Structure 1
Amino acid sequence: MNHVPKRSEIAPEYRWKLEDLFADQSAWDKEYAQAKEQMKGVEAFQGKLGDPAQLKACFQLEDDLSLKIERLYVYANMKHHEDTAEPVFQALSEKSKKLSVETGEALSFITPEVLSLSDEALSAMIENLDLAKYKQTLEEMRRQKAHVLSKSEEALLAQVGNISQAPSTIFSMLNNADLKFPKVKDENGEEVELTQGRYIQFLESKNREVREAAFKAMYDTYGKLKNTIATTLSANVTKNIFYSRARKYPSALEMSLYGDNIPKEVYTNLIGAIHKHLPLMHRYMELRKKLLKVDELHMYDLFAPLVDEFKMDITYEQAKETVKASLKPLGEDYLSVLQDGFDNSWIDVYENEGKRNGAYSWGAYGTHPYVLLNHKDNLNSMFTLTHEMGHALHSYYSDGNQDYRDAQYTIFLAEVASTLNEALLMDYMLKKSTDPKEKMYLLTYYADQFRTTVFRQTMFAEFEKLIHERAEEGESLTPQDLSKIYYDLNKLYYGDGMVIDKDIEMEWARIPHFYTSFYVFKYATGFSAATSFSKQILEEGAPAVERYLGFLKSGGSDYSINILKKAGVDMSSPEPIEEAMSVFESLIEQMEQLTK
């Protein structure tokens, strides 16, 4: 199929059924009108939240209204994603966004008003049996209270909000709009302009000269702007320290972890456990050098393909069967929900004209989840299918076992279920594979996920921790300081077995995540938690599955760390990282066997 089909040309069984959310446009309009009407009732509660009966009624209205907004918003945007050029749903999407903002503003008085109650009054509310359903909400408000300032100070901080976006906005403009890269020669010897998007493609080239030229051109370009970008990144660090001190947190790191109530040890344990296992990374680099048949391994060789692309044609129907077979260890109940998703139009499978690209799992409480794909008949698409169904089943179990208010799980937990599904699929395929070429292809695919998701993101996390600590101690962050810290980390993480090219010292200048500080560690912890779960499930069977399903059913009914701990993964200890590392080690051993 060379041309991209129109939406109408896609067979109904490959399209999601949004009628399960709203039967038609008029049903949506009706609920929209109800939400508008309900919003008028919110104001009546202002100034009355000290009365438990009024507070309960206010929370009930908030839940009812929020769920309507969520349903309206999700439907309008998913309709819009089916064909982004369709003006009717562009307008509907805008309309739902506006309503969402209006509702947020209308409800914004609730938290400050509850927090203005005396400690005794708030404690009495938490213990009030009539408010039992809202106990966690109230406890969370009380936990936040220590860091909420007076009304006038909060108003002042709100006004600073726009200024605080400046470092991130400036970096984004520099990085995406103003930076111009030189031309480099591609594999055919043709001059091609280097761009952010093409950079990784160049680094994945089989031709080493192409890789080296792109690498040097990339960092040379950033090097010319090092003073500006260092000032921008340093301003972002200063902003974080300003907020952490204004809100009375011990450090910028602890402020960022406070929202999810994650102890600092989770962050520091991750770094400590990875340091302990750096010899594994160094061993993987030795293996990479051997497979690439080079005398010296350079930084620009890290993305070069280790084995020839192993072409795997996997149709959507085959992908579903393989995914199902690989998830057998999760038991009958899980498989029947998965089958339900496959059979009952949860999934929008193929690309069509105007359809949003990429993939996601989404939905609204009270209706089954939905998954958007743009399926191609290859290995990547099969992994995407199992990944997104992992998210979908997490939402399905959470929604089915929790009240609306407690069903939403945090970002810290979000990638666990999806990555676990990928780990089980990989395990299944490796065990089934008889072709050494296929096996090697799968092993390198998986080992590189460990390298990029666990090691590299932990190195980023350590860089963020070091530069914030330095600034908190009143020391400078010149371009030279940033480059030295970054270069030394690369040396530590990749080891002496490879050449740490000087150019890599500028890589910090091109990482957009550094402007969403202390976020990237969640990739590494999520991946480790999922790998730890998969290891327990494959080794222990039923008891581990029971614990894991308990995790899926918990939603956001407790703090993330506690939910994982109850399920047998204690992220405040190094153990899940240790378990993930033992899986990584077995991959390296299998690869070494195949290269003998």
Structure 2
Amino acid sequence: MVKRLPDRKEIDDRYKWKLEDIYENEELWENDFNRVKVILNEILKYKGKINNDKSLLEVLKLNDDVSILTNKLIAYAKMRKDEDNSNGKYQALADRAMTLNIQVLSATSFIIPEVLSIDETAIKDYLDRNTELGVYKHFLDDILRYKPHVLSDKEERLLAETGIIAQAPGNIFKMLNNADIKFPIIKDDDGNDVELTHGNFIKFMESRNRDVRYNAFNGMYNTYKNFINTYSSMTDSNVKKDIFYSKMRNHKSSLEASLFDDNVPVEVYNNLINTVHDKIDLLHRYVKLRKKFLKLEELHMYDLYVPLIKEYDKHYKYEEAVNIVLEGLKPLGNDYVDILKSGFDSKWIDVFENRGKTSGAYSWGAYGVHPYVLLNYQGNLNDVFTIAHEMGHSLHTHYSMSCQPFVYSEYKIFVAEVASTCNEALLMNYLLEKAKEKNERLYLLNHYLEEFKGTIFRQVMFAEFEKFTHETDEKGESLTPELLCKKYHELNKFYYGNDIVVDEGINYEWARIPHFYMGFYVYKYATGFSSATALSQMILKEGKPAVDRYKEFLKEGSSDYPLNLLKKAGVDLTSPKPVLDALDVFEKLLQEMEKEI
């Protein structure tokens, strides 16, 4: 008998989220949909007329009102659709919400340019004169920060028109990488012929059968080698696009331009790379340990992902997983755990997989309503960590929305993974303390070491490669396939050390990384993970003072710049200390694993 996924209606209501907390019925959704259009008409009356403190305050308030409603409409419609993507009713509702959002963005697009056209002295006078406007001070200061990088109306229109062309490298990459490229047929663990795909590649790389790993590795990268001139051309075009916009907007470099939105100085990026360089011997030790544990005369690049310890074979009922998370996060204090428990009890979470449900996991919220979490819970240890991770996002959202006005209620992507990863670190500490069996402890240690390897070392290697490509092009040198592959080989050699054979195939790995089309994004994974690890250690060692600082960070949303928010919590990313503190944790885990093996 074939086991099938249950339909949505077959899932017990206890395990479904309660979206009625956003809209009790669709009639209320329709009412807000219509209200948005009314408010947009009001907003458009201010076009060309933002010329005093009263008109500025009024249009900013209206902009908040329309944004709150639009976000609610989108969240409800999209989450209803995610329950079952085959449901035509909610497909249509989600489409209507997204179309409305485009109309909102278009109608309100005049606000920031008009604010930028106001003299800074006048803005200061407005703020001094109108106390109600004070809530928008950081928002206005941040807009004015862009002033040196905003062009004339005509030039801005021209730049806007180039947007579609600028998307070409990324769009071409997606089509080639996801639609056109085909990988060979290889044998799986059972000797069956299976087509290699992006989806099953990592599964094959984790296989205990070395022939499967070898064939998957070579099948993947020989295919990229066949297209390497095309991928090189796309990469070169994408880098040139980044450089073009940085020059047009009067930035010193494409790196500086990309960090500007978060108000992060270039030194933070460079310090991250330099700090990891200084501690690279730790990754070399882990690679050496992997070679020893796998009992290989030669460790190859295709041996980097096979788990050292077979997955600790334990199934966790959902209720059991919830209790583990609640226990693991007790160091965050009663207030945090009470809100967490309330979320579990009040149907914030959609737990189990059903036919048509969106895959993966996420946390989402709408201002004025509690956050929600989508899961596809299967019961393994990774799923327990996923609950802690997504509820970390949700409590960050809860605190931010509860304590901040709408304008600052959403936190920046730069800090988005801090709360979720901090939860995982605290849960890992709890599980390691409670682990009784040697295999369970070794599995947890290996799991955590792999998190460090993938999120700090590997992402920093990507960040260094991305810096190289942009600096090379900015110097007027060509990004040829030979140069890109040579540099990528050198980086792998430096990062992984002398105890591994850097196979030729890895030279082409850069071609398959989609994040390279997102402009200096990957470093945020490393800074976020380092910050979360450092914060979790403070919480465990200091107790209440560190917890209080951390909760203030969660409450502040985007009311200040990310680096300032983290600094108040105790993490100063302008210094090497947070990354060094995180790598100290890695070293302690490594030492324990070395003793056990």
TM-score by length of 2: 0.98
Deviates more, 1:35-44 or 1:144-153: 35-44
Task: Please tell me whether residue 500 in structure 1 is matched to residue 509 in structure 2.
Answer: no
Which amino acid is the alignment partner of residue 420 of structure 1? C
Which residue of structure 2 aligns with residue 323 of structure 1? 325
Q: Secondary structure at the match of 1:371?
A: strand
Matches of 1:320 and 1:25 in 2, distance apart? 32
Which residue of structure 2 aligns with residue 108 of structure 1? 109
Which residue of structure 2 aligns with residue 544 of structure 1? 546
Which residue of structure 2 aligns with residue 571 of structure 1? 573
CA shift digits 1:527-571 (9 cap, x unpaired): 000000001111111111111011111111100000000110111
Task: Please tell me whether residue 15 in structure 1 is matched to residue 13 in structure 2.
Answer: no
Matches of 1:41 and 1:308 in 2, distance apart? 62
User: Which of 410, 413, 417 matches 2:412?
Assistant: 410
Task: Please tell me whether residue 78 in structure 1 is matched to residue 79 in structure 2.
Answer: yes
Give the superposition deviation at 1:217: 1.6
Give the superposition deviation at 1:432: 0.6
Give the superposition deviation at 1:126: 4.4
Matches of 1:560 and 1:7 in 2, distance apart? 40
Which residue of structure 2 aligns with residue 178 of structure 1? 180
Q: Secondary structure at the match of 1:97?
A: helix
Which residue of structure 1 aligns with residue 383 of structure 2? 381
Which residue of structure 2 aligns with residue 204 of structure 1? 206
Matches of 2:195 and 2:287 in 1, distance apart? 30
Give the superposition deviation at 1:496: 0.8
Which residue of structure 1 aligns with residue 272 of structure 2? 270
For the Cα contact (< 8 Å) 1:390–1:419, is it kept in 2? yes
Which amino acid is the alignment partner of residue 211 of structure 1? R
Deviates more, 1:229-238 or 1:27-36: 27-36
For the Cα contact (< 8 Å) 1:5–1:352, is it kept in 2? yes
Which residue of structure 1 aligns with residue 441 of structure 2? 439
Matches of 2:126 and 2:488 in 1, distance apart? 50
Matches of 2:175 and 2:112 in 1, distance apart? 35
User: Which of 307, 312, 315 matches 1:313?
Assistant: 315
Task: Kindly report which structure 2 residues correspond to 1:164-243, keeping only aligned pairs within 5 A, or say none.
Answer: 164-243=166-245
Give the superposition deviation at 1:190: 2.9
Give the superposition deviation at 1:22: 0.8
Q: Secondary structure at the match of 2:357?
A: coil
CA shift digits 1:261-306 (9 cap, x unpaired): 1111111111011001100000000110111111111000001121
Matches of 1:157 and 1:23 in 2, distance apart? 43
Task: Kindly report which structure 2 residues correspond to 1:333-482, keeping only aligned pairs within 5 A, or say none.
Answer: 333-482=335-484
Task: Please tell me whether residue 299 in structure 1 is matched to residue 326 in structure 2.
Answer: no
Matches of 2:49 and 2:399 in 1, distance apart? 36
Q: Secondary structure at the match of 2:146?
A: helix
Matches of 1:208 and 1:5 in 2, distance apart? 36
Which amino acid is the alignment partner of residue 112 of structure 1? P
Give the superposition deviation at 1:586: 0.9
Matches of 1:189 and 1:555 in 2, distance apart? 52
Deviates more, 1:492-501 or 1:187-196: 187-196
Which residue of structure 2 aligns with residue 584 of structure 1? 586
Which residue of structure 2 aligns with residue 4 of structure 1? 5
Which residue of structure 2 aligns with residue 33 of structure 1? 34
CA shift digits 1:301-345 (9 cap, x unpaired): 001121222201111011010000000100010010001101111
Which amino acid is the alignment partner of residue 94 of structure 1? D
Q: Secondary structure at the match of 2:50?
A: coil
Which residue of structure 2 aligns with residue 258 of structure 1? 260
Matches of 1:33 and 1:286 in 2, distance apart? 63
Give the superposition deviation at 1:257: 0.4
CA shift digits 1:221-251 (9 cap, x unpaired): 1111111110110010011111000100000
Which residue of structure 2 aligns with residue 282 of structure 1? 284
CA shift digits 1:491-550 (9 cap, x unpaired): 100001111112211111111111112001111110000000001111111111111011
For the Cα contact (< 8 Å) 2:116–2:143, is it kept in 1? yes
Deviates more, 1:132-141 or 1:487-496: 132-141
Deviates more, 1:275-284 or 1:45-54: 45-54
Deviates more, 1:117-126 or 1:469-478: 117-126
Which amino acid is the alignment partner of residue 493 of structure 1? Y
Matches of 2:376 and 2:220 in 1, distance apart? 31
Deviates more, 1:450-459 or 1:308-317: 308-317
For the Cα contact (< 8 Å) 1:122–1:142, is it kept in 2? no
Runs of at least 5 residues in structure 1 that lack an aligned partner in the other structure: none
For the Cα contact (< 8 Å) 2:53–2:130, is it kept in 1? no
Closer/same/farther in 2, CA of residues 484 and 127 from structure 1, 3 Å limit: farther
CA shift digits 1:192-233 (9 cap, x unpaired): 221111211111111111111111121111111111110110
Matches of 2:195 and 2:552 in 1, distance apart? 51
Which amino acid is the alignment partner of residue 7 of structure 2? K
Which amino acid is the alignment partner of residue 574 of structure 1? P
Which residue of structure 2 aligns with residue 52 of structure 1? 53
Percentage of pairs with the same residue: 51
Which residue of structure 2 aligns with residue 118 of structure 1? 119
For the Cα contact (< 8 Å) 1:84–1:354, is it kept in 2? yes
Which residue of structure 1 aligns with residue 493 of structure 2? 491
User: CA RMSD, aligned part only?
Assistant: 1.1
Matches of 1:581 and 1:277 in 2, distance apart? 8
Matches of 2:129 and 2:457 in 1, distance apart? 47
Which 4+ residue blocks in structure 1 deviate beyond 6 angstroms?
none
For the Cα contact (< 8 Å) 1:126–1:138, is it kept in 2? no
Which residue of structure 2 aligns with residue 94 of structure 1? 95
Matches of 1:299 and 1:464 in 2, distance apart? 21
Task: Please tell me whether residue 509 in structure 1 is matched to residue 511 in structure 2.
Answer: yes
Give the superposition deviation at 1:187: 2.3
CA shift digits 1:73-113 (9 cap, x unpaired): 10111111111111111111011111111011110000111
Which amino acid is the alignment partner of residue 3 of structure 1? R
Which amino acid is the alignment partner of residue 34 of structure 2? A
Matches of 1:363 and 1:441 in 2, distance apart? 34
Which residue of structure 2 aligns with residue 557 of structure 1? 559
Task: Please tell me whether residue 150 in structure 1 is matched to residue 189 in structure 2.
Answer: no
Q: Secondary structure at the match of 2:454?
A: helix
For the Cα contact (< 8 Å) 1:459–1:489, is it kept in 2? yes
For the Cα contact (< 8 Å) 1:203–1:215, is it kept in 2? yes
Q: Secondary structure at the match of 1:260?
A: coil
Give the superposition deviation at 1:180: 1.4
Task: Please tell me whether residue 138 in structure 1 is matched to residue 162 in structure 2.
Answer: no
Runs of at least 5 residues in structure 2 that lack an aligned partner in the other structure: none
For the Cα contact (< 8 Å) 2:409–2:557, is it kept in 1? yes
Matches of 1:341 and 1:377 in 2, distance apart? 19
For the Cα contact (< 8 Å) 1:126–1:139, is it kept in 2? no
Q: Secondary structure at the match of 2:149?
A: coil
Which amino acid is the alignment partner of residue 116 of structure 1? S
Which residue of structure 1 aligns with residue 164 of structure 2? 162
